[in-house]
Amino acid sequence: MAAGGGNLITLVAALIGVGVVAQIVSDRFQVPSVVFLLASGVVLGPEVLGIVGPESFGNALSAIVGLSVAIIVFEGAFHLRIGRLREAPAATFKLVTLGAVIALVGTAAVVHYALGVGWMISALVGALLVATGPTVIAPILEVVPVRSRVGTALETEGIVNDVTAAILAVVIFEAIMADVRAPADLFALFAQRLGTGIVIGLAVAAAVFYALRYVDLSPGNAPQNARLLVLGGALVAYGGAEAIATEAGIAAAATAGVVLGNTDVPYEEEITDFKGDVTLIVLSFVFITLAALLQFEYLLGLGVGGLVVAAAVALVIRPLLVFVSTAGDRFTRGEQLFMSFVGPRGIIPASVATLFAVEFRAEGMPAEANVLVGTVFLVIFLTVAFEAGFARRIAESLDVIPMRVIIIGAGSVGRTLAGRLEDRGENVVLVEEDVNNVEKARNEGLTVHHGDGTDTEVLRSAGGDNAKIVAATTGDDDVNLLVAQLAESKFGPETTLARVNNPNNVDAFEDLGVRAISAVDATAMAFDDYIERPSLVNWMDEIGERGDVQEVEVTSEELVGKTLSEIGPELPAHCLIALVTRDGETVVPDGGQTIELGDRVTLIGDDEAVKKSLALVNPDEA
């Protein structure tokens, strides 16, 4: 029996509250939020507490899930930058093309033979399980700070495949419902649904863009009205397309998102933040709800065949498509393995499968509905539990997390240093006791551990055991000295640095074996550089934007034994090797300088040129 209006409102509010708590708990314990969301859904569902069940939402379930999917797809599409796709490594493009085909064909074949179902249902399951999705990848990357090339590849794959998998699944579903088998008819059906979605999505995007650009949205409240207009546009695109052609709404929402995300809309930052918050709430609600609606009999009904499908998807098909897509690129073997074993499925397969199952049952096809929901959710449960839940341990065992830096002190100096290091892809954790500085750092998007940096357990909980660099940057010399000595004695990082505010204390720091950075000397040196070397200073100010300087160890066997004259033509334009350090001695090299394994070279040049040179000199650090 359907829940009454009051009960339904209470239920929805409670589920959203549980979702918010799950997000907070995930941040606290550094475990992807999807793990807690799925677990919450199972506990609240009929298999445990029975608070949420198939009858809880009455006939409103399809509409609720449909609109939620529209918001989630629009959010993902809005972040899909066409320019970024053009600039992405070849491996990223292969992941969303060749990799997607391997996932679709491989999964469909395994489902067909392991579960004994028809090819169309198998293809439908395969299409849905192509999608990894930003809703599961983003939480993983928040707790596992991998190198930028790995993060970019996984994020782009998730965003693109979320949209394309949903549209492809819609076409296959419509073909099943209309009993379409001929290739020409399938193409016509695909063109009709996709074409309707694209036309409606373009029309809505154009209207929203025009309103944002040329209509006075109330000067005093324009950002808020812009946010609401964009959210309304996403829902209108979905609803309008659905009214014209069933299941065309996802394509419309995706089209509107891509168009608006790649145009210069006003208040883009405010719109992005607002949509992110809305999507987070919707995502939490839908993930918990769908997990709660799942009955274990669907999973048990699959038998051993279901486990075979899940194992094949996670342990055979995923590694195959990753290694094929990344072959010949600069990904290390550890990074390839990490990408292979961290590809959990998320909300789009779950929500779309639930929508299709509802319609299958309405058409008298319960067996197909059970196979679809059971298979998709079984893969989601297992990949989320093992791949998302153990993502950090997988990353640590494969050594794909870049250098960890712990900075004690989240004042102006500490925050600025952390920002610069994070821009270069380092894994930075700030430790700060003052709540105001903690808040400032978190508002800047930095990772902060609240606690006393002179406490051994606080440093350990911030990652002291794995830190390669510890930097004490507070305004108190006594604190900085204590932190530096504590780090050296308890954790033994490769480098320990301490800010010295009183220049008279520099010798005391050095006598105790602490590498000291004098604030007074550094400031005086900066003034001197501006006076004597203004061009160099102006160029250095642009590091991270146009120019860059990187010091890296030579690990490439291809460069060993060569002179700089021989290496020079291999380096990208606008980049050179400025310094070579060997056995603690640093020299400005000439063309006859021979490079040996283990040398440290300093690269200087344009930002992109230096990045490409890093891959040549030390592929692991690129």
**What is the average per-residue pLDDT within 469-487?**
90
User: For residue 15, what pLDDT is reported?
Assistant: 81
Count Cβ atoms below 10 Å from residue 37 Cβ, excluding itself: 29
User: For residue 2, what pLDDT is reported?
Assistant: 44
545-621 matches 5-398 in CATH topology: no
Please give the model's pTM, rounded to 2 decimal places: 0.66
Which residues lie below 8 Å from residue 85, measured CB to CB, with a gap of 6+? 92, 93, 156, 160
Question: Which tens digit of pLDDT belongs to each residue from 255-303?
Answer: 898 888 888 888 777 777 766 677 777 777 777 777 777 777 888 888 8
CATH number of the 404-532 domain: 3.40.50.720
Question: Which tens digit of pLDDT belongs to each residue from 553-605?
Answer: 888 888 888 999 988 888 888 888 989 999 888 999 988 899 998 899 999 88
Angle, helices 222-244/268-293, rounded to nearest 10 degrees = 50
Q: Token pair of 300, please?
A: 């048990």
Gap between the Cα atoms of 154 and 77, Å rounded: 15
User: For residue 337, what pLDDT is reported?
Assistant: 92
Question: Which tens digit of pLDDT belongs to each residue from 216-252?
Answer: 766 667 778 888 888 889 899 999 998 887 767 888 8
Angle, helices 222-244/61-78, rounded to nearest 10 degrees = 120
AA identity, residue 122: S
- Cβ contact 105:324 at 8 Å: no
User: For residue 3, what pLDDT is reported?
Assistant: 47
Q: Which contacts qualify for 120-124: CB closer than 8 Å, 24 or more apart?
A: 120/172, 120/175, 120/176, 120/181, 121/176, 121/368, 121/371, 121/372, 123/172, 124/169, 124/172, 124/173, 124/176, 124/356, 124/372
Element (H, E) at 618: none
User: For residue 4, what pLDDT is reported?
Assistant: 46
DSSP state of 620: G
DSSP state of 594: B
Name the band, by pLDDT with cuts 50, 70 and 90, for residue 333.
confident
Name the band, by pLDDT with cuts 50, 70 and 90, for residue 83.
low
Q: Which CATH number fits domain 5-398: 1.20.1260.10, 1.20.1530.20, 2.60.15.10, 3.40.50.10260?
A: 1.20.1530.20
**Residue whose pair of structure tokens reads 């900085």 in the numeric block:** 480
Question: Which tens digit of pLDDT belongs to each residue from 540-563?
Answer: 665 555 677 888 888 888 888 899
Task: Spell out the domain ranges in the chain.
Answer: 5-398, 404-532, 545-621
Name the band, by pLDDT with cuts 50, 70 and 90, for residue 203.
very high
Gap between the Cα atoms of 341 and 323, Å rounded: 11
Residue of 601, 17, 32 lying closest to 347 (CA atoms): 32
CATH number of the 545-621 domain: 3.30.70.1450
- Cβ contact 251:241 at 8 Å: yes
Name the band, by pLDDT with cuts 50, 70 and 90, for residue 361.
confident
